[in-house]
Each structure stands twice: as structure tokens, then as C-alpha cells.
């Protein structure tokens, strides 16, 4: 039987207030940065949970500008027997740029773990991980937590980003235009795997990819758990900045997500997303 070693149905609650942590390692994979931080005494996260991160210094747009809001990041790894946390980052704007600039010895402020993570697969089903870009992050800790491990299908924009494929074990890769792995979207690889009905998909990535995953799984009657992205300012449900539509109304992703069952979602959540 496949199990998740830490059951996230009993959600771990983060203590209020930011904790100061130190960056201990910085590794690059093409344009991606993996930061390792030490969080002694902090709760250990479940697969799929996230943290709100800020740099302790120079976190703002200057004296005349507004400070940057904290950024939400899924945990990449939380190695057993350590107090370490790892996060996968990409410089896509001023806030993430500042985080990517951090080096060993720099201070990082965090709040977490937050949200609802992945749940164990249904009885008789084997997990299949599907990720795109920085969305591979929660799949790495998920793969670490599953007993036994699970195969992974990972998609990237280009060969440089595909270097991050080594962060998961035994992963099959796809790149939009080659030259690494399959040439085309990662959902091409997923379609091949869905011929077996005894799987359950765990996915995280850009909206277009997640909509394609949702549609393919619905067509094949395969259950899927999707880790979604939304703008988050607080992580505690106070700001209502991360609401997404479901078939039973709107939910705050930072509280009821970021992982939601695919068949629970209103397809409007992916409105305008390309496949």
C-alpha cells in the first residue's frame, strides 16, 4: 500500500508571527535557485504546504515606494532528522529577485507551514506526480513522503530550466521546444500514463498545465489532486486575496488549499488559461 508518512488531513498550524531563519545553502539549476534555511523549533511541514517568505533586509521598493508583500512558496524539501527547509525560487519580479539574491549567512523571515497539503491516494491507486516549472517544488517533498516513492512527469519551458529535473527521482522530462526529453507539453506524457485506471494524479504547475491535467483526468475518470497558485498576502485567510471558485462556492486557497481535488473545482478557476 502507498501511504503518506505525514497525514496532512490533520493540518499543522503555524505559530503567529514571523520567525527568523538563516540561509545555509544556495544552489542554482539554470535560472532556478534552491535556498536551504535552518528552522530550529519550527513545525515540520506536510507535503504540499507552503510558507510566506521575506528577506529581513532591503525588503522594499525604496523610501518612496511601498514595501514588497511576503511571497508564498511551497516547500521543496524538509529532510528528515534535520531542521532544514528548502525552497525553489525563480526571479520573476522585484520581490522574487530579492529572495534569489540571498546567500548563505543572510537572514530570512518566514511564516508557516500553512494550508492543506496532499492526501494519500485512494485505496488501490498508485500516485503519479505531474509538475511544470517551479510547480515541481511540492512534488519533491511529496515524493519523499510517499512510501514507496512515485514516478514523476516534469515539464519545462527550455533546457536550462529542465536542469531542475534532477530534484525528483526517476523523472521523465518534457520541454516545450526540446532539446531535453519529450518535445512538447508534459501532458503528452500524462496521456500515455492514463491508460492505466489504477493511478491518482498529484499535480502542480502553471494554470494552463493544470487545466489540461484536470481535463485529461476527468476524461479518463482518474482522480487528481491539484496544488493551485493564487496571490497571497497573509497566508491566514484574513485578506481574501486568494479566493478561487469551486462547485460549491468560493474558498480561500491559503486555508482550504493550496491542494484541492480536481473534481471539486469550477472550471472558471482556469478561465483564460492556455493548454
**In the chain, where the domains are located:** 3-114, 126-270
CA 153 – CA 118 distance, rounded (Å):
17
What is the pLDDT confidence band of residue 13, given thresholds at 50, 70 and 90? Answer: low
Q: DSSP H helical segments within 68-113, as ranges?
A: 94-100
Residue 247 CB: number of other CB atoms within 10 A? 9
Q: What is the pLDDT of residue 65?
A: 63
What residues pair up with 84 in beta bridges, in sequence order? 38
- CATH for 126-270 is 3.40.50.80
Angstrom distance (rounded) from CA 256 to CA 133: 23
- Per-residue pLDDT at 243: 82
- In this predicted structure, the answer to whether residue 10 has a pLDDT above a threshold of 50 is no
In this structure, of 11-15, 166-170, 201-205, 248-252, the range with the lowest mean pLDDT score is 11-15
Q: Give buried/exposed letters for 132-166 (b at 16+ CB in 10 A, else e).
A: bbbbbbbbbbbbbbbeebbbbbbbbeeeebbbbbe
- Asked whether the beta carbons of 237 and 231 are under 8 A apart, the reply is no
Is the pLDDT at 269 greater than 80? The verdict is no
Is the whole model's pTM more than 0.85, yes or no?
yes
The answer on pLDDT for 6 being more than 70 is no
According to the model, what pLDDT value does residue 7 have? 44
**pLDDT digits over 231-254, tens only?**
777 777 777 777 888 888 888 887
pLDDT of residue 48: 95
| pLDDT score recorded for residue 5 | 47
241/235 Cα distance (integer angstroms): 9
Residue written as grid cell 534569489 = 100
The pLDDT value recorded for residue 9 is 44
* Confidence (pLDDT) at 250: 86
Work out the mean pLDDT of the chain and round it to a whole number.
87
Q: Report whether pLDDT(167) > 70.
A: yes
Query: Maximum distance among all alpha carbons in the chain?
Result: 58
Please give the average per-residue pLDDT across 29-56, as a whole number. Answer: 93
Q: Which pLDDT belongs to residue 273?
A: 52
pLDDT: is 95 or 230 the higher one?
95
pLDDT digits (tens, 9 = 90+) for 43-94: 999 999 999 999 888 877 666 666 677 889 999 999 989 999 999 999 998 8
pLDDT tops 80 at residue 104: yes
- Rounded CA separation 243/211 (Å): 17
- Residue 8 confidence (pLDDT): 44
The mean per-residue pLDDT over the stretch 174-187 comes to: 91
Q: What is the pLDDT of residues 124-150, one digit of tens each?
A: 899 999 999 999 999 999 999 987 779
> Which class for 273: exposed (0-12), middle (13-18), buried (19 or more C-beta within 10 A)?
middle
Q: Is 3-114 assigned to CATH 2.40.30.10?
A: yes
- What pLDDT was estimated at residue 232? 75
Amino acid at each position: 500500500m502507498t501511504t503518506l508518512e505525514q497525514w496532512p488531513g490533520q493540518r499543522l498550524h503555524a505559530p503567529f508571527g514571523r520567525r527568523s531563519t538563516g540561509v545555509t545553502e544556495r544552489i542554482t539549476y539554470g535560472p532556478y535557485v534552491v535556498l536551504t534555511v535552518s528552522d530550529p523549533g519550527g513545525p515540520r511541514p506536510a507535503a504540499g504546504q507552503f510558507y510566506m517568505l521575506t528577506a529581513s533586509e532591503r525588503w522594499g521598493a525604496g523610501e518612496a515606494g511601498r514595501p514588497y508583500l511576503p511571497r508564498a512558496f511551497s516547500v521543496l524539501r524538509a529532510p528528515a532528522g534535520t531542521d532544514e527547509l528548502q525552497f525553489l525560487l525563480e526571479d520573476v519580479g522585484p520581490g522574487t529577485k530579492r529572495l534569489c539574491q540571498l546567500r548563505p549567512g543572510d537572514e530570512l523571515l518566514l511564516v508557516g507551514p500553512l494550508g492543506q497539503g496532499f492526501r494519500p491516494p485512494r485505496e488501490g491507486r498508485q500516485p503519479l506526480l505531474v509538475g511544470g516549472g517551479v510547480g515541481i517544488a511540492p512534488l519533491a517533498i511529496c515524493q519523499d513522503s510517499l512510501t514507496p516513492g512515485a514516478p514523476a512527469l516534469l515539464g519545462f519551458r527550455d533546457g536550462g530550466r529542465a536542469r531542475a529535473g534532477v530534484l525528483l527521482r526517476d523523472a521523465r522530462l518534457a520541454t516545450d521546444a526540446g532539446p531535453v526529453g519529450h518535445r512538447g507539453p508534459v501532458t503528452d506524457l500524462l496521456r500515455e500514463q492514463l491508460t492505466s485506471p489504477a493511478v491518482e494524479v498529484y499535480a502542480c504547475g502553471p494554470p494552463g498545465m493544470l487545466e489540461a491535467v484536470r481535463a485529461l483526468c476527468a476524461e479518463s475518470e482518474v482522480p487528481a489532486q491539484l496544488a493551485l497558485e493564487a496571490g497571497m498576502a497573509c497566508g491566514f485567510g484574513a485578506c481574501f486575496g486568494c479566493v478561487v471558485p469551486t462547485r460549491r462556492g468560493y474558498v480561500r486557497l491559503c486555508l482550504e488549499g493550496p491542494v484541492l481535488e480536481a473534481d471539486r473545482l469550477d472550471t472558471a478557476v482556469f478561465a483564460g488559461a492556455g493548454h
